[in-house]
């Protein structure tokens, strides 16, 4: 099993120096990946903890790519209905190029009604827009020449397409994963919340004649009790989870460094992986 950790791109922890210290601590500890969230327009009455300060996820990962060498950089998740297709594809390709193809593209539909209102986008169309954007991304990364709106254009640079990981809950997220994704990326506190869905994903993949997509799970672990945390991580692995993204609170870079060191040193060694 691989391990990742969220990196806060909101509130005081999103100050550039703290971000760099945190991502470098995660890389030094040997974590496989860090992940950043996506919000564009937090309403004033919902800004506790962030004060409305959120960095753009793709711009942040481009910045962090220059501060790291090995660790993968993921969006967990990029809300596709918030953004026009072509500029989004260009930004994704740019981060993938500049990072040495270390981007993992987690995507989602979004949920916060005020953000859709601020953007002038109908929340009811979020599934439709997401599917259209995913189809467009596949075309862009498969061809130097792409046609859209009756106009042909060159899509360059065209690095290898980053793995596309679909966020969300069954059944729609599973169907979307099989159509467009390389993996499914749900949230779950307990293994029991997702084990049936993983089994269903395997069934659907077999019916479609394709290999089962990867499963990456966002979950909190009791890092202050490594034995219990390792036991829970083992349960996820046995259910077929390929990567566990361990959420935790931190106030500064030193707290972040201690948490990722715990994950790397006390959780990962000796952990059997049934999921791959």
> What is the tally of structural domains in the chain?
1
Q: Is the pLDDT of residue 275 over 60?
A: no
CA distances to 22, 43, 58, 65, 115 from 51, rounded to whole Å, are: 21, 10, 21, 26, 15
- Domain CATH for 144: 3.20.20.30
52-77, pLDDT tens digit by residue? 999 999 999 999 999 999 999 999 99
Q: Which of 83, 16, 19, 10 is nearest to 50 (CA)?
A: 10
Full domain range(s) for residue 198: 2-267
Task: Note whether residue 273 is domain-resident.
Answer: no
**3-state DSSP call for residue 262?**
helix
Cα distance between residue 42 and residue 157, in whole Å: 33
CA-based radius of gyration for the chain: 18
214-231, pLDDT tens digit by residue? 999 999 999 999 999 999
Cα 101 to the chain's mean position, in Å? 15
Task: Note whether residue 224 is domain-resident.
Answer: yes
Task: Note whether residue 276 is domain-resident.
Answer: no
E strands in 135-234: 145-148, 151-154, 164-167, 183-185, 214-220
Task: Note whether residue 79 is domain-resident.
Answer: yes
pTM attached to this predicted model: 0.95
User: CB-hemisphere CA count at 13 Å for 235?
Assistant: 16
75-101, pLDDT tens digit by residue? 999 999 999 999 999 999 999 999 999
Task: Note whether residue 274 is domain-resident.
Answer: no
Helix axes 126-142, 85-98, angle to 10 degrees: 50
DSSP string, 100-139: TS-EEEEEE----HHHHHHHT--GGGHHHHHHHHHHHHHH
The kind and range of the H/E element at 90 are: helix 85-98
Find the distance separating the first CA and the last CA of the chain, reported in whole Å: 6
């Amino acid at each position: 099993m691989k391990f990742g950790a969220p990196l806060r791109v909101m509130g005081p922890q999103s100050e550039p120096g703290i971000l760099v210290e945190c991502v470098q601590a995660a890389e030094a500890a040997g974590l496989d990946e860090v992940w950043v969230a996506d919000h564009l327009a937090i309403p004033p009455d919902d800004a506790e903890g962030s004060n409305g300060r959120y960095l753009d996820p793709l711009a942040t990962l481009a910045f962090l790519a220059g501060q790291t060498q090995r660790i993968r950089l993921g969006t967990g998740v990029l809300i596709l209905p918030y953004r026009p297709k072509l500029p989004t594809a260009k930004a994704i390709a740019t981060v993938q190029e500049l990072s040495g193809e270390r981007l993992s593209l987690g995507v989602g539909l979004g949920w916060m009604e005020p953000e859709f209102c601020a953007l002038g986008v109908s929340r009811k169309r979020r599934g439709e827009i997401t599917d259209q954007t995913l189809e467009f991304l596949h075309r862009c990364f498969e061809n130097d020449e792409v046609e859209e709106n009756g106009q042909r254009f060159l899509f360059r640079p065209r690095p290898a397409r980053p793995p596309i990981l679909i966020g969300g809950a069954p059944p729609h997220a599973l169907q979307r994963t099989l159509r467009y994704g390389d993996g499914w990326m749900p949230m779950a506190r307990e293994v029991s919340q997702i084990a049936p869905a993983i089994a269903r994903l395997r069934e659907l993949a077999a019916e479609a004649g394709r290999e089962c997509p990867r499963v990456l799970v966002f979950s909190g672990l009791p890092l202050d009790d490594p034995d219990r945390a390792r036991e829970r991580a083992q349960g996820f692995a046995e259910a077929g989870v390929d990567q566990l993204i361990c959420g935790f609170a931190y106030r500064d870079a030193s707290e972040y460094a201690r948490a990722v060191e715990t994950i790397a040193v006390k959780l990962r060694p000796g952990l059997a992986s049934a999921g791959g």
